């Protein structure tokens, strides 16, 4: 089908159509490095960490890299299409890692975990600080004694430096992806708009992704001190202190 043919524009929920091209769009991400970094953080604790659960796991790329470190793993994602791809990868790799659809705001795991991770600025999709607090409470209920919670946020500096009026278009032999990003500083809302065309389908799929950009101190203040001890705030993939001049900041918490 020609790209020049008229197509109907269809708005869909985030990550539904994008799921089909997600691995291509995210091919620049070094998931092996992500897994190694998280493994090193977990290794610093003075008690065994065996069970690790990934909240907002996407298509499972991080989990499949973390397998190398012999954890008992599982994950959920809010989008059914992403979960389906994670399951497909697991079947292809012949590994029995459970993936299912779930919400960051209310979840109950069959077994308490030694660690829960929520990575790649997934928590920025929670648009109210009260929702973040809800997530912390859910994580607390699903962690073992002295369990670890690791999550990250993208900073305002990252949005301004890299994605203020950002436009990118990619094309393969079977699809094209047009991305526009912009940051509303007054509301601290980061927008990522995707137009996705599959050349054999008569439609343009449009997804609007919205993230709230939190300040570090704002997020620190949302952490329930009766439930968690804040062990560290690191600049992305380092042991340096995270600041508002960092592009990504990792929070490491331990259940009290």
What share of the chain in percent tops pLDDT 90? 96
Taking residues 127-149, what's their average pLDDT?
98
Whether domain 8-12+161-212 has CATH 2.60.40:
no
pLDDT score for 1: 45
Pick the CATH number of 23-157+215-255 from 3.40.640.10, 3.40.50.150, 1.10.150.110, 3.40.50.2000: 3.40.50.150
Taking residues 131-159, what's their average pLDDT?
98
Domain 8-12+161-212 and domain 23-157+215-255, same fold? Reply is no
Q: Which residues contact 54 (CB under 8 A, 6 or more apart)?
A: 60, 62, 63, 66, 73, 74, 75, 76, 116, 117, 118, 119
Taking residues 68-79, what's their average pLDDT?
97
pTM for this prediction: 0.96
Mean predicted lDDT score pLDDT of the chain: 96
pLDDT score for 17: 98
Task: Give the tens place of pLDDT for each residue, 115-129.
Answer: 999 999 999 999 999
**Residue 6 confidence class, pLDDT cut points 50, 70, 90:** confident
State yes or no: pLDDT of 8 exceeds 70. Answer: yes
Q: Can you give the three-state secondary structure of the chain, one letter per residue? A: CCCCCCCEEEECCCCCCHHHHHHHHCCCCCHHHHHHHHHHHHHCCCCCCCEEEEECCCCCHHHHHHHHHCCEEEEEECCHHHHHHHHHHHHHHCCCCCEEECECCECCCCCCEEEEEECCCHHHHCCCHHHHHHHHHHHHHCEEEEEEEEEEEECHHHHHHHHCCEEEEEECCCEEEEEEEEEECCCCEEEEEEEEEECCCCEEEEEEEEEECCCHHHHHHHCCCCCEEEEEEEECCCCCECCCCCCEEEEEEEEC
pLDDT score for 4: 64
pLDDT score for 235: 98
Task: Give the tens place of pLDDT for each residue, 196-241.
Answer: 999 999 999 999 999 999 999 999 999 999 999 999 999 999 999 9
pLDDT score for 24: 96
pLDDT score for 14: 97
Q: Domain residue spans in the chain?
A: 8-12+161-212, 23-157+215-255
């Amino acid at each position: 089908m020609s790209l020049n043919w008229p197509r109907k524009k269809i708005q869909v929920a985030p990550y539904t159509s994008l799921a089909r091209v997600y691995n291509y769009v995210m091919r620049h991400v070094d998931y092996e490095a992500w897994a190694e970094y998280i493994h090193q953080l977990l290794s610093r604790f003075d008690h065994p960490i065996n069970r690790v659960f990934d909240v907002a796991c996407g298509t499972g790329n991080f989990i499949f890299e973390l397998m190398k470190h012999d954890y008992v793993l599982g994950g959920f994602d809010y989008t059914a299409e992403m979960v389906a791809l994670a399951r497909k990868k697991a079947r292809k790799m012949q590994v029995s890692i459970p993936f299912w659809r779930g919400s960051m705001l209310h979840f109950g795991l069959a077994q308490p975990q030694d660690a829960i991770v929520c990575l790649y600025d997934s928590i920025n999709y929670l648009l109210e600080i009260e929702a973040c607090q809800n997530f912390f409470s859910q994580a607390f209920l699903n962690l073992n004694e002295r369990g670890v919670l690791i999550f990250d946020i993208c900073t305002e500096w990252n949005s301004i430096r890299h994605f203020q009026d950002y436009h990118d278009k990619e094309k393969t032999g079977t699809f094209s992806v047009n991305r526009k990003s912009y940051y509303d500083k007054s509301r601290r809302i980061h927008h990522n708009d995707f137009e996705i065309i599959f050349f054999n389908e008569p439609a343009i799929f449009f997804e609007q992704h919205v993230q709230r950009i939190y300040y570090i101190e704002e997020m620190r203040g949302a952490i329930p001190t009766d439930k968690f001890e804040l062990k560290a705030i690191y600049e992305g993939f380092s042991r340096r202190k995270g600041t508002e001049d960092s592009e990504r900041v990792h929070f490491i918490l331990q259940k009290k």
